[in-house]
Structure 1
Amino acid sequence: MPNTQVRSVKSTEGVNRPKGSPRKIVRRFLLSLLTLLVLGMIVFLLIPSPIEPAKWSAPTAPSFEESGPWKQNNKLSSAQLVTDAPKSPEFITFDKEGQLYTGDSDGKIYKVAFDAEGNPQKAQVFADTKGTPNGLIFDANGNLIVTDVKKGLLSINPSGSIEVLADQVDGKPIYLANELDIAKDGAIYFSDTSNYGSVTFKEIAENKPHGRLLKYDPKTKQTTILLEGLYFANGVALSVDEDFVLVAESYHYQLTRYWLKGPKKGTSDIFADNLAGFPDNITRDEQGHFWVGIFTTRLSFVDQMHSNPWLASTMAKIPQSLLSGASAPVKHGLAVELSPQGELIGSWHDPEGTLYGITTAIKHNGYLYIGTAPGGSLGLHRVLLTK
């Protein structure tokens, strides 16, 4: 019996003895966690990338600190809210009576009237495309022509009835109808941003052109392709003489010119390059000058990624939901004015970032009206133009 009792005590002591000190337990846990992270990283690096990026050495971005037309100012910092009914008023246009129209990302198109003193009244819903209306301009018949990224090219009559003008070209879908302008003869020039069909970080990382410039002829009801191979085709605007049409290539910081008349008809060239950010929409004022909204100033990481295909292909593996911050607009409002020849006349800034993510800048009745897109500041604003 004594020997049995001794063995029993030893067995009990073995069960109750601590397996290790708290410090050792934490050390084992951290080592296990590190092992899992290393294994996870190895697996992530071995997964094939969904893209084969093209290498590109982006030009050095213009400086906001140096003197010249890019020099930073606060011209947009005093912006007045016109309406907050549309959260993301991508584009802005006016009818013959001076009423403002803009769309929102939820499909609604709003109308804003002004009183005798020019004060904006409460926004009213004019139509609902059930899509995402971006560009909108009135044609000669009073119909609102709309480029909707989900529905294609639309026409909305004064009572709000919607007709699809085009959602295909050459038997294939119009993937992402974005912006437009209308010529005096009724021809509609508009951009099909990308055959990706949506805005995705993978396309930025891939750095290959997937956009197009299209033309719709209301007489024949036919849509044709004018230009292909554009780096995220965006804003569109005709020159005052309609001898060329511009289309913004957001991902290469440039505006491309397609000639409609003259000896260069049917060819294209660069109208303005090395902009200080991603150009979005283009509007033309009464002087024939072009105004361009800059959705975000240059992102140094993106420029570095373009010069490093391995980094780009690796970033493309990360789920889009985790990369929303990587391509979010910098909180620095910016719009630029260009001459009819493409020379930079001036830039308008809000360095405090109260107004940012700018897509549209359009002059009307002594004001510069400002539109934004999702990711930017909310609501439609305007800034009084100084003479």
Structure 2
Amino acid sequence: MPNTQVRSVKSTEGVNRIKRSPRKIRRLGLSLLAVILLGVIVFLLVPSPIEPVKWLAPTAPSFQKADPWKQNNKLSAAQLVSDAPQFPEFITFDKAGQLYTGDSDGKIYKVPFDAEGNPQKAQVFADTKGTPNGLKFDAKGDLIVTDIKMGLLSINQSGSIEVLANQVNGKPIYLANELDIAQDGSIYFSDTSNYGRVTFKEIAENKPHGRLLKYDPMTKQTTVLLEGLYFANGVALSADGDYVLVAESYHYQLTRYWLKGPKKGTSDIFADNLAGFPDNITRDEQGHFWVGIFTTRLSFVDQMHRSPWLAGIMAKVPESLLSGASAPAKHGLAAEFGPQGELIGSWHDPEGSLYGVTTAASHNGYLYIGTAPGGSKGVHRVLLTK
């Protein structure tokens, strides 16, 4: 005969455990909630690493209206030229029409073309051991490079590298980014930020840390032309060499510095309220400027600039957690401007197969597209049909 008394005791103990379990769960939940609330309070009380400046960013242009920013599919049919360079930040060509571009791992690639204009296998031309961004051939045929880690470099045809400048006025060139070369050999290039790296804190802070520099190959001296730029980026000279442009990525504008004429030594705004973050600038044979737009406008960034308190809070968030929020929108975009700053047209890939555009370079009937980490990979091109 079964022991009903023992069974009854065990049954009672099981019921008691079931009754106590919800209490334990509630206590555990309340403890966890208290820890979270304490963490939030501590997070809010910890001082922000920056002192943000309020900025009412202009309303972003619409891609739907019938204006030069109107959305189209001109970049959607892009052809892959080479996938050897993963992120071809900038694109230039030598006198023979061979394409050169740098990659984020330090390598600079050369891509030749056959008689029909078809791209051939990419070859490694040089390795800066840094991150080469801007590239341009000088009159001697040497490749001048702005490397964000190494400074301003010169690379001869055998691949030998010489550092031209990594300091100005006794202080470091923090982040040499893009360049152009004048007819007299002067090299104009951007020093993006004294932060020395790309960081979300800078965009949240909304203070200007960039510069436009000039290197004189005769005196081998580097001078500062402009300071106080909001993330100084792409650089391009006008066809006549009377001014030089520099992109201010974080304020969606192109700034013009006058080199000749009655305005010499002064600066003004060449184009403003761009539909995204302008990156590199190239000039075509018509004297027009092509601007790569790394990402279209990010609404949360514009909203953040309206509230220094919110910007300060965002700057405390670990950047590893913000990588997704600051990634480029999957919408390829490049813009063409006339010599007076007028927007002629825009080229889009709303499908997002080609995005994170840094460079748009017109060459032999094609528009060549470069990108940076965070965007699509490889060198692409599309026919220059209007």
TM range (shorter): over 0.9
Q: State how 1:267-286 maps to structure 2 within 5 Å.
A: 267-286=266-285
Equivalence for 1:214 = 213
Whole-angstrom distance in 1 between the partners of 2:14 and 2:328: 60
- Report the alpha carbon displacement of residue 137 of structure 1 after superposing the two structures with TM: 0.2
- Where do 5+ consecutive residues of structure 1 fail to align? 1-9
Equivalence for 1:115 = 114
Equivalence for 1:379 = 378
Deviations 1:185-209 (A, max 9, x none): 0000000000000000000000000
Equivalence for 1:7 = none
- Where do 5+ consecutive residues of structure 2 fail to align? 1-8
Deviations 1:54-85 (A, max 9, x none): 00000000000011101000000000000000
Aligned residue for 1:292, secondary structure, equals strand
Whole-angstrom distance in 2 between the partners of 1:15 and 1:301: 53
Whole-angstrom distance in 1 between the partners of 2:22 and 2:15: 18
Whole-angstrom distance in 2 between the partners of 1:151 and 1:360: 21
Whole-angstrom distance in 1 between the partners of 2:324 and 2:268: 33
1:87 aligns with 2:86: yes
Whole-angstrom distance in 2 between the partners of 1:185 and 1:153: 17
- Give the letter aligned to residue 101 of structure 2: T
Aligned residue for 2:201, secondary structure, equals helix
Identity in percent: 82
- Report the alpha carbon displacement of residue 321 of structure 1 after superposing the two structures with TM: 1.3
TM-score (ref. length: structure 2): 0.96
1:64 aligns with 2:63: yes
- RMSD across aligned C-alpha pairs, in angstroms? 1.8
Equivalence for 1:349 = 348
Whole-angstrom distance in 1 between the partners of 2:360 and 2:118: 19
Q: State how 1:326-365 maps to structure 2 within 5 Å.
A: 326-365=325-364
- Give the letter aligned to residue 122 of structure 1: K
Whole-angstrom distance in 2 between the partners of 1:235 and 1:16: 72
Whole-angstrom distance in 2 between the partners of 1:114 and 1:95: 12
Equivalence for 2:303 = 304
Q: How many residues align?
A: 380
Whole-angstrom distance in 2 between the partners of 1:256 and 1:327: 24
Whole-angstrom distance in 1 between the partners of 2:344 and 2:77: 21
- Give the letter aligned to residue 221 of structure 2: Q
- Give the letter aligned to residue 241 of structure 2: E
- Report the alpha carbon displacement of residue 15 of structure 1 after superposing the two structures with TM: 12
Whole-angstrom distance in 2 between the partners of 1:345 and 1:169: 37
- Give the letter aligned to residue 183 of structure 2: K
Whole-angstrom distance in 2 between the partners of 1:32 and 1:192: 50
TM-score (ref. length: structure 1): 0.96
Equivalence for 1:172 = 171
- Report the alpha carbon displacement of residue 27 of structure 1 after superposing the two structures with TM: 2.0
Whole-angstrom distance in 1 between the partners of 2:22 and 2:336: 64
Whole-angstrom distance in 2 between the partners of 1:195 and 1:50: 16
- Report the alpha carbon displacement of residue 28 of structure 1 after superposing the two structures with TM: 2.0
Whole-angstrom distance in 2 between the partners of 1:277 and 1:245: 21
Equivalence for 2:263 = 264
Whole-angstrom distance in 2 between the partners of 1:65 and 1:382: 25
- Report the alpha carbon displacement of residue 257 of structure 1 after superposing the two structures with TM: 0.1
Whole-angstrom distance in 1 between the partners of 2:19 and 2:266: 77
Whole-angstrom distance in 2 between the partners of 1:323 and 1:330: 14
Deviations 1:217-237 (A, max 9, x none): 000000000000000000000
- Report the alpha carbon displacement of residue 325 of structure 1 after superposing the two structures with TM: 1.2
Whole-angstrom distance in 2 between the partners of 1:89 and 1:22: 59
- Give the letter aligned to residue 251 of structure 1: Y
Q: State how 1:86-165 maps to structure 2 within 5 Å.
A: 86-165=85-164
Whole-angstrom distance in 2 between the partners of 1:14 and 1:87: 65
Whole-angstrom distance in 2 between the partners of 1:26 and 1:290: 64
Deviations 1:300-353 (A, max 9, x none): 000000010000000000111111112110000000000000000000000000
Runs (4+) of structure 1 moved beyond 4 Å?
Answer: 13-17
